Structure 1
Amino acid sequence: MPVLDKKSFEKAPVWDFDDVYNQDAPPRPAMCAQSLRNSKDEFFMKAFLPNVRLFLHKDSINMSEWNRLSHFNNPFGFMEYKYEDVTPVLKLIPKPKEPLLSPKPGSNGCVRCAVVGTGGILNGSKMGAEIDAHDYVFRMNGAITQGYEEDVGNRTSVYVHTAHSITTSLYLLKKYGYQAAPHDEGIKYVMIPEGQRDYNWLNGLLKGEKITKGPYRNKEPRKFYSGQFNETRFYVLHQDFLRYVKNRFLKSKSLNRRYWAIFRPTNGAFAIFLALQTCDTVVRVRIHDQGLHEILQLLC
């Protein structure tokens, strides 16, 4: 199909298949009585797809899928991109061999998670011990813990990022003592493929090479993971999952305006919904996004 141009649309286009998503087999048996999957909230359960495809990998893209996803702008698809430019990178992404998270021994089959933001909202909260007591702790972007452990904890199980956030956080947050992205032993890294620069990043990261073009030219991505990068613990979010979050939970009026293409949920929002998809319970978080806050008030 011809390459679609975002400038051709005065507002976000809506296709017959806009709310159609790939789904996978359940990653693990549903054993937790307190699981969000058993929520009594009608809005959430109507919108929630427990088996929506979460991760992009080398076997998930063929020409038919490329054509479908080319109807959606980044990060929700491949609009304006050329098949021959992007698919060589997609073919490098390993297929996950295990679920992102599994129940801990003695947990009665429940996966308990905390999602910690980076905007300083927990400063003075003294919630560190409570956060670290969860089975898994999600963080994103400039995840500062050193010196703030009493408020935010010090564990990171899952780190959600883009190429932009993992690089720029180093100098934006340097004055707060931030020196590197989380690199706990056994940490799992989850990347949001935000745009072409992220595919350039993935190419260098997965090949173990310097980036050869784009804004990160000559950078060595693996150095940003402090020795903890491992293909078996690295995941890339699927465009269907990103679009599902936008369409079903965080629809914005901005999509009907001229600058529709620049709107997307935040990295923090994507991290929270990843937790809602992979955990049974998610700790209540204080967050500035009102729509997301209302959903969490109902569920957490």
Structure 2
Amino acid sequence: MAVQATRTFYLLIVLSVSSVFYFLSWEHSVENACWKTFSGKLSGKKGNSTPRPVVLTTTLQVKKVVSTKANPLTTPKKHQMSTSTNAAAAESPMPVLSKKSFKKLPKWDFEDVYNQDGRPGQRTCPQSLRNSKDESFKKAFLPNIRLFLHKDNINMSEWNRLSHFNNPFGFMEYKYDDVMPSLKLIPKPTEPLLLPKPGGDGCVRCAVVGTAGILNGSNAGADIDSHDYVFRMNGAVTKGFEEDVGNRTSVYVHTAHSITTSIYLFRRYGYMAAPHSEGIKYVLIPEGMRDFQWLEGLLKGESVRAGPYHKKMPRTYYSGQYNESRFYVLHQDFLRYVRNRFLMSPNLNASFWPIVRPTNGAFTLFLALHTCDIVSAYGFMTEDYSKYSNYYFEKEIKTKVIFYSNHDYNLEKKLWKSLHDRKIFKLYQKSESGPEKPKQR
């Protein structure tokens, strides 16, 4: 009996030690597994009941994706995402999120975290908007925000992070295999979008020209063309209106929809094709799936394989001026940053939140603010917009501005006036005493 009891005692000791060792091994395994993942957590609970998805990433990236629940205007720069790392990509795409799962815009704990491309380049222009003394602008403005998307800065981890945001701010509802093939074709830009003019004073002066009716009869064409660079977007009709809007185009910003539809909408006003000045640079806003389908056809020099532009040849829309070295795609982080820090509409709390986004004109204007030193805006909505037609090229039948639900025109109008009053840029306006032209500084 004593021998049997002794054996039983030793057996219990062995089993206990084995259990402890197994538990510790399991705990260590779980800890490592959790360290290699992060949860895309919502920063608020009300109005959003969707389970928090697990996003595969690397330990280094986990450390970078920090909570930024504070006001984006005052978020310290140390919380911003730095340049791309050499860490390994995640292994598989996260589960697809549905927009219908959210009653309003979801706010993730990494909502206000953005990729940035190193340190801002040295600017020698003393009048540069980067030297603004306006505190709220300085806190919100990220001079080195990543502007462009290309094949070298997208991988599985980036796909998973951006899949938390709806288009055009991310890849929510999209399948990895449907989009990634076109993303991996986007070439890395070989040079900045704009460079200072040789022999100048180091200041890059830009005009951004919208299509508002306020330019009809403005005689602002010569002033617009006197800038170093001219940005235009959408239905940029110039022929026959050079006196009011000029005829130079350095950068044309568009979506697949705008570059194709404008031809049909504005043909009656003489618009035959997108601007195609020699050496022009084209910038695409990746608005949705149709843009990725367009991109694949454009970059391959083939017809579009699927979607609303099926069998169309994208390169024909650029009138022979498409060049891989002069083609850029805006990064989703830049688009989200513009919305989050400058144009956060209250409509994003409504049930139709997925379609709410800044206008193409707004994205173009902010692109200029990040690539130029001195910016003048023409043809953008002003407080007296109701006095003018919708478009400057309307002569016989003048239509009124229609406030569609996908854009918050009032919010943009107030922002343009605010930035003008704070001397961030010059906004072309008309007053009772006559037009106020945004003279170059």
Work out whether the TM-score is over 0.5: yes
Is the aligned partner of 1:232 residue 2:325? yes
Structure 1 contact 23–53 (Cα < 8 Å) conserved: yes
Is the aligned partner of 1:214 residue 2:307? yes
Deviation at residue 94 of structure 1 after TM alignment: 0.3
Structure 1 contact 284–296 (Cα < 8 Å) conserved: no
CA distance in 2, matches of 1:78, 1:170: 28
Deviation at residue 293 of structure 1 after TM alignment: 1.4
Is the aligned partner of 1:83 residue 2:206? no
Structure having the higher Rg: 2
> In the superposition, relative to structure 1, how do residues 11 and 2 fare at CA in structure 2: closer, same or farther (>3 Å)?
same
SS at structure 2 position matched to 1:160: strand
Structure 1 contact 286–293 (Cα < 8 Å) conserved: no
In structure 1, the gaps of 5 or more residues are none
- What is the match of residue 67 of structure 1? 160
- What is the match of residue 49 of structure 1? 142
Is the aligned partner of 1:170 residue 2:293? no
Question: Which stretches of structure 1, 4 residues or more, deviate above 6 A after TM superposition?
Answer: none
- What is the match of residue 291 of structure 1? 414
CA distance in 1, matches of 2:350, 2:265: 31
Deviation at residue 41 of structure 1 after TM alignment: 1.2
Is the aligned partner of 1:252 residue 2:345? yes
Deviation at residue 26 of structure 1 after TM alignment: 4.5
Q: TM-score, normalised by structure 1?
A: 0.98
Structure 1 contact 71–78 (Cα < 8 Å) conserved: yes
Structure 1 contact 160–192 (Cα < 8 Å) conserved: yes
Task: Single out whichever of 38-47 and 128-137 deviates more from structure 2.
Answer: 38-47
SS at structure 2 position matched to 1:56: coil
Q: TM-score, normalised by structure 2?
A: 0.67
Residues 99-248 of structure 1: pairs in structure 2 closer than 5 A: 99-248=192-341
Structure 1 contact 92–203 (Cα < 8 Å) conserved: yes
**Deviations 1:145-195, CA, capped at 9 Å, x for gaps:** 000000000000000000000000001001100001000000000000000
Give the AA of the match of 2:326: R
CA distance in 1, matches of 2:173, 2:143: 30
- What is the match of residue 124 of structure 2? 31
Q: Give % identity.
A: 73
Give the AA of the match of 2:340: N
Give the AA of the match of 2:349: N
- What is the match of residue 90 of structure 2? none
Which structure is higher in RCO with an 8 Å CA cutoff and minimum separation 6? 1
CA RMSD of aligned residues (A): 1.0
Deviation at residue 22 of structure 1 after TM alignment: 0.0
Give the AA of the match of 1:296: L
Structure 1 contact 27–99 (Cα < 8 Å) conserved: no
Give the AA of the match of 1:293: W
In structure 2, the gaps of 5 or more residues are 1-93, 382-411, 426-441
SS at structure 2 position matched to 1:55: coil
SS at structure 1 position matched to 2:214: coil
**Deviations 1:117-160, CA, capped at 9 Å, x for gaps:** 02333110000000000000000001000000000000000000
Task: Single out whichever of 287-296 and 76-85 deviates more from structure 2.
Answer: 287-296
How many residue pairs get aligned? The number is 300
